[in-house]
Amino acid sequence: MYTAEITRPSRRPTNLSLDNALLKEAKALGINVSRAAEAGIAEAVKRYKQERWLKENAQAVASSNAYVEANGLPLARHRQF
């Protein structure tokens, strides 16, 4: 039987400058600031990559959309819905 190996990402201590009031409030609420910062950075990276992909592929997307507008969906006659 195959068992998947679970790997944890390596972590590195990092210094961040954060708003003092926000940090105090987060700690008072029991928020893990490191994990929250990591989640926020991960979301920012994801959004940046999405935006970059859209910019890099804008011409291809526009071309595909123009084709569908002019000719309809390819293989539309085979759709069963």
**Residue 28, in any domain of the structure:** yes
**What's the whole-number average pLDDT of the chain?**
92
Long-range CB contacts for residues 42-48, cutoff 8 Å, separation at least 24: none
If one counts the domains in the chain, the total is: 1
**Residue 81, in any domain of the structure:** no
- Which residues, other chains included, contact 33 with Cβ-Cβ below 8 Å and sequence gap of 6+? 18, 23, 26, 27
Averaged over 2-26, what is the pLDDT? Answer: 88
**pLDDT number for residue 74:** 87
**Residue 53, in any domain of the structure:** yes
pLDDT in tens, 37-62: 999 999 999 999 999 999 999 999 99
**Residue 60, in any domain of the structure:** yes
**Residue 6, in any domain of the structure:** no
Q: Cα–Cα distance between 78 and 81 in angstroms, integer?
A: 9
**Residue 48, in any domain of the structure:** yes
